[in-house]
């Protein structure tokens, strides 16, 4: 799979660990930055990640910041992205199965490397269930309010 990964300064170390893990699993990984722990703004990297997922350059995205909250909000500004903030494997799998999430977000200050890897495994191995969930997911990208 083609997977894009991005973070803010608080999650640079976790991003590096997960990038290498994904490569070891055989995925093609685009690291969208940043490269150092110098202060950056998470919306910039969330928007960059959303762009490559939305245009199909990457099939999935991994968004990381200190809490995972800010960068997930930024990614979700793009109607083509469904970014789920997760902290354990069940929510990661359900994000794919029920919500057809195409981006997973995690907080580097809240989750350890091993749990983050377990979340990635669950997310990437799950498939969208369709059925009763399909109409709901359609409404996420095409709201009628």
Annotated binding site for D-ribulose 5-phosphate: 8-9, 66-70, 99, 109, 132, 136
Rg (CA), the chain: 14
Q: Which residues are annotated as a binding site?
A: 8-9, 66-70, 99, 109, 132, 136
Q: In whole angstroms, give the CA distance from residue 26 to residue 99.
A: 25
Q: Annotated catalytic, 65?
A: yes
- 22: tokens are 């994904």
**CA 133 from centroid of its chain's CA atoms:** 20
Catalytic residue of the set 27, 81, 83, 98: 98
Q: Annotated catalytic, 119?
A: no
CB atoms within 10 A of CB 93: 19
Catalytic residue of the set 65, 81, 83, 119: 65
In sequence order, what DSSP letters do the residues of 95-118 get, joined into one string?
HHHHH---EEEEETTTS-HHHHHH
The set of catalytic residues is 65, 98
């Amino acid at each position: 799979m083609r997977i894009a990964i991005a973070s803010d300064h608080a999650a640079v170390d976790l991003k590096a660990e997960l990038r290498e893990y994904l490569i070891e699993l055989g995925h093609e990984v685009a690291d969208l930055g940043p490269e150092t722990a110098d202060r950056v703004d998470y919306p910039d990297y969330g928007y960059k990640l959303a762009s490559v997922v939305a245009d199909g350059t990457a099939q999935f995205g991994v968004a990381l910041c200190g809490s995972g909250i800010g960068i997930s909000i930024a990614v979700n500004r793009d109607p083509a992205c469904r970014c789920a903030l997760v902290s354990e494997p069940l929510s990661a799998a359900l994000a794919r199965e029920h919500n057809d999430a195409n981006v997973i977000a995690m907080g580097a200050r809240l989750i350890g490397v091993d749990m983050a890897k377990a979340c990635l495994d669950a997310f990437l191995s799950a498939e969208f269930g369709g059925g009763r969930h399909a109409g709901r997911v359609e409404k996420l990208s095409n709201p009628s309010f």
